[in-house]
Structure 1
Amino acid sequence: MNRRTVLSGAILGATAAAASGSATAKEAHMPKAKGRTGPRNLITDVAGIRIGQAHDANARTGVTVILAETPAVAAVDVRGGGPAGRETDVLKAENLVQEVDAIVLSGGSVYGLAAADGIAAWMGMRGRGYGMGGGAGVPPSPIVPSACLYDLANGGDKQWGMDTPYRRLAVEALESASDAFVLGTAGAGFGAQAGSLKGGTGSASAVTDDGWTVGAIAAVNSVGSVTAPDSRQFWAAPFEIGSEFGGLGTDQLSAAHEDWGRAKFAPRPRENTTIAVVATDVALSRVECQRMAIMAQDGLSRAVRPAHAPFDGDTVFVLSTGKIKLEDGPARNIAVSRLGNIAADVLARAIARGVYEATAYDGSADKTWKGLA
């Protein structure tokens, strides 16, 4: 069986999503969100960001690389009780390095942390990374923070011994990086499970009236449910643009405070995580990126119920590619507030799209969102 499958092809776009909507979707009682996406409705609508993905179908796991074409200012906010991450401390505002070269999202729990090794080696060979000086032959140090989700118990072959696939998959993903990529059962979300539904990788974008772009990508492996109990409607439905995840509206969005709907049964620590990256083309400082990351975490709460539980490893990175400059002064805080709120909405949409586009593994009976119809 081929253990080295690299994802390629065009995105499953909003047009296909609209075509799959039912008459009920077209007659939903509540109005949809008003807003404008970028041309792809992907995080790559943010200038300077590319995405690469690869998976191992036999092991049922994968890697997503978020590549900054030039070093980008970054921050991270961790809210889950069981995170698995690397190089997150380097993103603290008081520390030396202010920019990153890439961010890696991966399956594999602690084994998946090796994915960043592959990216660092690949970049270091090509002279990219933070340099402290030194003589000839001294390589730079690429800054590659990462976060991983738990997909070890999804039925894939994890008997890899000393040769885990993550370093290799990360390099394959990086070398395939482009503006277009597949959603659903792909990349870091290949082996994911969102509550009792098949999880996946989702992405979305938004463009403001003054031309700012915010995009998000998420690998959704949550303990919580992304849909309301006894309904196919996504919790993120109030923020849906067009019919990007089915267009079913909001009229059935309600639940008792102890009703988790399609959450996982008997969740266990470190086995459930939504990991995500939000990016913007607006030039922000490290501290401003940190505030945007904090605000973006609300997107998880808008899309998943419950979120940030002891069982989760919820982690959100923010990247600023710095293409659009802001003037200094009081208006900057208003701008950051706007960006943070948009980031939360875009992340909620990306989470829903990841589950909406997810497909079952070959020969499996996994429950998918589209299979609920």
Structure 2
Amino acid sequence: MIPGLRVGHWQRIGDGWLTGTTVVLPDAPALAAVDVRGGGPATRDTIALRPGGLRADAIVLTGGSAHGLAAADGVVEWLGGDAPVVPAAAIYDLGRGGVRGNRPDAAAGHAAAATAGPDVAQGCVGAGAGAVTAEMKGGIGAASVALAGGSVVGALAVVNAHGSTLDPATGLPLAAGLGAFGLWVPEPAEHAAAVHALQHPDRPSAGLDLPNTVIGVVATDAPVDHAGLTRAAAAAQRGMARAIRPVHGQTDGDTVFALATGPLGSDPRQAAEVAAAAELAFARAVVHAILAATSVTTGFGHIASYRELYPGATGGAAGG
């Protein structure tokens, strides 16, 4: 993802479970910021990331709604030390595995932290295990953008969206034009068949009547200050709006953390470049989450993935 960062996942799928936790771990406490939008966030310790606040030792993204924030306790335990700063945000995935009380706890956070490494698994793993969108299975996705000076901006998005990620006219992801995703435009007949399947009366609701949230992290090794990092988090929310419609609703708790692993810097041109890249990377990460997701059948019902609904569009390898 980004030099100086590791990512770990824990998930449990089956036997009444469909949920998980993802931990983003900097090698050293990192400058951090956050942007929270929507009417129903489930977060922890975001006040610590105010201007002049503390550096973050880890960021936790988790399922389980407010109950799942307990996963951060396990990360605190795993980190040790006097008082680790571990902000967290949760999505609503309660009951999607069939048993409403099955949700991440401190042991889940500990396990996710213990698996952290430089490679980032995508799809129905970690906090993306129980994620859905308005139509289909969601997940977790990653993307990055290289900056002119050699630095990188990366994004990690947990797509559990009340809104749609699809262009209703074509069936392509809304942000498909922002990267080389290896997609073909679905044939009209394939698109019509997918729309019919999504409108079938026996299809389980993917959560339109429940709180839904997109959460994630953008990070960079470019030199930025807290103001620039805060703008990057806000820019990632704009990227979310390019890939999902609508966003930031009354039942959404859309939350994006931002981390900087490089030196402090206050060049406004650098900050603007980081923000533009954060917007693009987050939008691409949403698409990757959708393309990497796989269909699942639980006590909640069958939730189809994009690749099941549009097999003709996804014959190429995802890039971007």
Kept in 1, the 8 Å contact 2:220–2:261? The answer is yes
Matching residue within 85, 95, 98 for 1:153: 95
Partner of 1:366: 303
The letter of the residue matching 2:93 is D
User: Which residues of 2 match residues 300-319 of structure 1 at below 5 A?
Assistant: 300-319=240-259
Deviation at 1:230, TM superposition (A): 4.6
Partner of 1:52: 8
Alpha-carbon distance between aligned partners in 1 of 2:101 and 2:22, rounded to the nearest angstrom: 22
Partner of 1:39: none
Alpha-carbon distance between aligned partners in 2 of 1:350 and 1:61, rounded to the nearest angstrom: 20
Kept in 2, the 8 Å contact 1:63–1:166? The answer is no
Deviation at 1:159, TM superposition (A): 3.5
SS of equivalent to 1:157 = coil
Unaligned runs of 5+ in 1: 1-43, 128-139, 253-261
Partner of 2:120: 181
SS of equivalent to 1:193 = coil
The letter of the residue matching 1:151 is D
SS of equivalent to 1:235 = coil
Deviation at 1:296, TM superposition (A): 1.6
Partner of 1:238: 177
Deviation at 1:367, TM superposition (A): 1.4
Alpha-carbon distance between aligned partners in 2 of 1:149 and 1:222, rounded to the nearest angstrom: 9
Partner of 1:144: 86
Alpha-carbon distance between aligned partners in 2 of 1:348 and 1:109, rounded to the nearest angstrom: 23
SS of equivalent to 2:25 = strand
Alpha-carbon distance between aligned partners in 1 of 2:207 and 2:62, rounded to the nearest angstrom: 24
The letter of the residue matching 1:281 is D
Q: Does 1:296 align with 2:236?
A: yes
The letter of the residue matching 1:67 is L
The letter of the residue matching 1:333 is P
Q: Does 1:71 align with 2:29?
A: yes
Alpha-carbon distance between aligned partners in 1 of 2:185 and 2:238, rounded to the nearest angstrom: 20
RMSD: 2.3
Q: Does 1:247 align with 2:183?
A: yes
SS of equivalent to 2:143 = strand
TM-score by length of 2: 0.85
Partner of 1:26: none
Partner of 2:192: none
Deviation at 1:166, TM superposition (A): 2.1
Deviation at 1:265, TM superposition (A): 7.8
TM-score by length of 1: 0.74
Identity %, equivalent residues: 39
> Computing the radius of gyration over CA atoms, which structure comes out larger, 1 or 2?
1
Kept in 1, the 8 Å contact 2:215–2:255? The answer is yes
SS of equivalent to 2:217 = strand
Deviation at 1:266, TM superposition (A): 7.9
Q: Residue 215 and residue 266 in structure 1: after superposition, are their counterparts in 2 closer, same or farther (change >3 A)?
A: closer
The letter of the residue matching 2:96 is N
Q: Does 1:267 align with 2:208?
A: yes
